[in-house]
Structure 1
Amino acid sequence: MDSPKTAPSPLIDTPWSRMRQTLQRIERGRDGWALRWQAIFAGIDLAILAFFLVGPYLRNGPSYLIIDYAIAGWIGIELFARALSAQSWKRFLLRSMTWIDLVILVTLLFPDVLFNFAFLRAMRIWAIGNSPLVHEGLRRAGWRAYQDVVRACLNFAVFLFLVTGFVYTAFFYRQEPGEGFVDALYFTVATITTTGFGDITLPGTLGKLTSVVTMIIGISLFVRLAQAVFRPYKVYFPCPQCGLQRHDADAVHCKACGVLLNIPNDG
């Protein structure tokens, strides 16, 4: 005889479990409450990037360290919250943003010894582009057709800011604040577009490698952005027969195998 199956133990309702469920809802939820919190956190990420830009202007003032350590405390709280909401420690440690935030945290805790790598926080903008905030926000606004364009723009903008931030931190950080960042941005745009005026170049082997990586990845993202802007809008709906994933918004049959489709209409 088969042994009777053991009934699964009921979930224990504790303050920690409730907090974990709330954090998971904020991170992955698609309802209005969760989207509002996601928008607030996105605004905080933009404020951290703004601090990176104005940091050199505040470097010699007492407010710099106050804001610097406040941001470090916020990132530490975020890391704790994401660790609590993760399904396992392994998944939490395998996330790229976990290690990026750890690097940012270390540079913020020791600003006099290490360069400010807060520009890496731009990766959060990339994560937002793949989050429910963008998908649901565009759908509710009736702009679902522009979803691929918005994501391509965000990816390109994040890469542009990351490269500009790295070039600024590694090569122009000791210059005048406004002039240094503008030079870094000018170099990055000229390199991505392969214009190559040559009036601003990066010295040494590190500078050459930075230029090579910027050209290779940057031109790929630029082409991807152009494709997203100019190609006809397609909806994501995997065909149950052949697996073709993108179809015309008003498609009735799959153009690859001819099977009848039932694409939902948001309208």
Structure 2
Amino acid sequence: MAEAERSETEAEPGRFEALRNRLRLLYHGRTPGAIRFQFAVLVVDLAIIAFFIASPILQDQRLFLWLDYSVALLLVLDITARGLASTDIRRWLKQPTVLVDLFILVTLLAPLWLVNLGFLRILRLWTIARSGFLWRPLRKKGLHEWEDVGHAVVNLVTFLFVVTGFIYTFFVRDGTGIDGYVDALYFTVTSVTTTGYGDIILPGVWGRLTSIAIMIVGITLFFRLAQAIVRPYKVSFPCPQCALQRHDPDAVHCKACGHLLKIPDDGE
């Protein structure tokens, strides 16, 4: 009897480790099955982001809570699976992207209490970009030079919709629906591009301060996007000698210290 119980106890950790290895292969592997799984996860994530963008104007609909809790369930499953797929769960939990995802999950589980923070859910787009799922198709096709541009676009789009949600929630809403949301997006874009038509303005001192912050951060992100498009392509490969991170794709020696480099052909 004791030997049977001991064998069952030993089998449990074995099954648990097998599950973690399986998830690790699916999330980080390069096999055709893993690629299909990652693509499916990416499609679901993009659908969730579309829901997050539309959430401010869907909150008064009857189906909103059902959709909200369904997305929360998907996010719980994804966070749990990613945690099990990590090699060090405690270290993984301390990553900024994981903390953002956990915050988003809290807003989904308490949508009525945290309704004014719902606009921050679009930060999920930033966490997906940081995970690398968005860029694997580019790497697979050898289009590494567009990854920096992609990161800049994601940062700009995330900022635009976070600010749009913030303005809609705190300055515009009051039952304005889709028209109010478009007005918030229009004001955000005109402020970020410093066009400043002046037909829509935010009232009061806080409105002016918000406009200033949008213009400063927005023009910085636009500059970052332009820089990513124009500047020559570099690969990320830390020099063993001086730790310089970026080099020309065909570099043989580090341009900072002259140390011999061994950059992989695929640039990864």
Report if TM-score (shorter chain) is over 0.5. yes
**TM-score normalized by the length of structure 1:** 0.78
- Does residue 130 in structure 1 map to residue 123 in structure 2? no
Matched to 1:226, the amino acid is A
Q: Which secondary structure does the structure 2 equivalent of 1:255 belong to? A: coil
Q: Which secondary structure does the structure 1 equivalent of 2:235 belong to? A: strand
Contact 1:35/1:133 (8 A) holds in 2: no
Tell me the distance in 2 between the aligned counterparts of 1:131 and 1:101.
Answer: 12
Tell me the distance in 2 between the aligned counterparts of 1:43 and 1:208.
Answer: 38
Q: Which moved more, 1:79-88 or 1:126-135?
A: 79-88
Q: Which secondary structure does the structure 1 equivalent of 2:115 belong to? A: coil
Tell me the distance in 2 between the aligned counterparts of 1:30 and 1:116.
Answer: 40
Query: Displacement, 1:231?
Result: 0.6
Matched to 1:41, the amino acid is V
Cα distance 1:103–1:171, how it changes in 2: closer, same or farther (>3 A)? farther
The residue that corresponds to 1:174 in the other structure is 174
Contact 1:168/1:181 (8 A) holds in 2: yes
> 1:125-145 CA deviation, whole Å, 9 max, x = no partner?
222223342443212112112
Query: Displacement, 1:61?
Result: 4.5
Q: Which secondary structure does the structure 1 equivalent of 2:247 belong to? A: strand
The residue that corresponds to 1:251 in the other structure is 251
Q: Which secondary structure does the structure 2 equivalent of 1:14 belong to? A: helix
Tell me the distance in 2 between the aligned counterparts of 1:170 and 1:129.
Answer: 28
Written as runs of structure 1 = structure 2, the 5 A alignment for 1:1-267 is: 13-55=13-55, 58-86=58-86, 90-115=90-115, 117-266=117-266
Contact 1:28/1:131 (8 A) holds in 2: no
Query: Displacement, 1:156?
Result: 1.5
Matched to 2:249, the amino acid is A
> 1:99-132 CA deviation, whole Å, 9 max, x = no partner?
4444434443444454264443332322222334
Query: Displacement, 1:253?
Result: 3.4
Cα distance 1:89–1:204, how it changes in 2: closer, same or farther (>3 A)? farther
Contact 1:49/1:119 (8 A) holds in 2: no
Q: Which secondary structure does the structure 2 equivalent of 1:62 belong to? A: coil
> 1:229-265 CA deviation, whole Å, 9 max, x = no partner?
0011122233344433322223333333444433332
Tell me the distance in 2 between the aligned counterparts of 1:83 and 1:266.
Answer: 28
Tell me the distance in 1 between the aligned counterparts of 2:77 and 2:125.
Answer: 18
Cα distance 1:143–1:206, how it changes in 2: closer, same or farther (>3 A)? same
Matched to 1:263, the amino acid is I
Matched to 1:108, the amino acid is L
Matched to 2:104, the amino acid is I
Query: Displacement, 1:52?
Result: 3.5
Unpaired runs of 5+ residues, structure 2, are 1-9
Q: Which moved more, 1:231-240 or 1:47-56?
A: 47-56
Matched to 2:157, the amino acid is A
Contact 2:152/2:228 (8 A) holds in 1: yes
Contact 2:122/2:162 (8 A) holds in 1: yes
Q: Which moved more, 1:204-213 or 1:135-144?
A: 204-213
Tell me the distance in 1 between the aligned counterparts of 2:260 and 2:97.
Answer: 41
Tell me the distance in 1 between the aligned counterparts of 2:13 and 2:96.
Answer: 31
Tell me the distance in 2 between the aligned counterparts of 1:169 and 1:211.
Answer: 15
Tell me the distance in 2 between the aligned counterparts of 1:113 and 1:224.
Answer: 36
Matched to 2:189, the amino acid is V
Q: Which moved more, 1:18-27 or 1:55-64?
A: 55-64
> 1:44-85 CA deviation, whole Å, 9 max, x = no partner?
222223223444665554333322221222223334434444
Cα distance 1:103–1:245, how it changes in 2: closer, same or farther (>3 A)? closer
Tell me the distance in 2 between the aligned counterparts of 1:116 and 1:40.
Answer: 31
Q: Which moved more, 1:24-33 or 1:193-202?
A: 24-33
Tell me the distance in 2 between the aligned counterparts of 1:36 and 1:249.
Answer: 29
Matched to 1:23, the amino acid is L
Unpaired runs of 5+ residues, structure 1, are 1-9
Tell me the distance in 2 between the aligned counterparts of 1:85 and 1:189.
Answer: 39
Tell me the distance in 2 between the aligned counterparts of 1:129 and 1:154.
Answer: 7
Matched to 1:139, the amino acid is R
Query: Displacement, 1:159?
Result: 1.6
